[in-house]
Amino acid sequence: MQVSVKVDTRQLENSLYLLAKESRSAPGIVIKEETKFIAQAIMKLTPPKNLAQGRKRVQGDLARIVFPLDAAKITWKPLKEAVEKKDVAKIAALVANSTKFQLKRDFTRDQGRMKEQHKKMRTRWGRINRGVRPVLVALVRDAAKYTKSVQKNVGWAKASFASAIVAAGGTVPKWVGKFTSKAGATVANFGENPRVVATAFNIKIPDFQRIVDNAVAQRVKITERKIERLVAGKAINLGFKIVEARK
């Protein structure tokens, strides 16, 4: 799925050129610093807040797809014994034919089957709706194996503009950075006639446009405050240099 995100930076660009003029700096240097700040703001606003939160959400989603059979938590003796012995044929028969096990479900050890069911049940945003009940059951180890394979993708959305941060000389967290070259691409020129084009790939977060727009709007306000301080002759830290106050 490709989500098209349009970023209107006309107001910000005008402010940045004015900031460059007032601080007697090259526009490219100012735009480079601002590119880093905007991309960092988008990353901060993009869920999850951290790796642990992302993994927890994945685990919660997959619990609605595959029910893990944990012998220690099973009270129905025939199934408990079958799981303890890992008697696959008996587990499958008990789960499929018995009304004691809540709803009838299919037992599987096939990771591909879990992935197929996952794709079928998730929304267009990549999440699983609450209230959905699992149609598959699996041994704890098998269910955990699939969960871990999905958790490896946590950080993809957050890395949507990581390439822009790197292009502007910034750094990103390791768990996000591993997706930098896959989740997005950036073409940047911070020399004469500075220009930045950043593209995010396969974003499934609801209303991601709003996240981007809020980040840009935030930077417009900050830039305008910097200009006000410069015009007033006050000291200001531009990130790449400090402008001393006029006496």
pLDDT for the residue 6:
60
Mark whether 166 and 239 lie in a shared domain. Answer: yes
pLDDT for the residue 146:
97
| Residue 178 maps to a domain | yes
Mark whether 96 and 137 lie in a shared domain. Answer: yes
Mark whether 83 and 133 lie in a shared domain. Answer: yes
| Residue 3 maps to a domain | no
Domain carrying residue 122: 52-151
CA distance 64 to 70: 16
Specify the pTM.
Answer: 0.83
Mark whether 39 and 86 lie in a shared domain. Answer: no
Residue 144, pLDDT > 80, answer yes
Count how many domains the chain has: 2
Residue 72, pLDDT > 50, answer yes
| Residue 235 maps to a domain | yes
Q: Which of 97, 131, 151 is the last residue of a domain?
A: 151
pLDDT tens per residue across span 163-192: 999 999 999 999 999 999 999 999 999 998
Integer angstrom CA distances of residue 130 from 29, 61, 135, 148: 47, 8, 14, 21
* Residue bearing tokens 């990771």: 111
| Residue 2 maps to a domain | no
| Residue 1 maps to a domain | no
With CA atoms as reference, report the closest residue to 184 among 165, 211, 210, 209.
Answer: 165
Instruction: Classify residue 192 by its DSSP letter.
Output: S
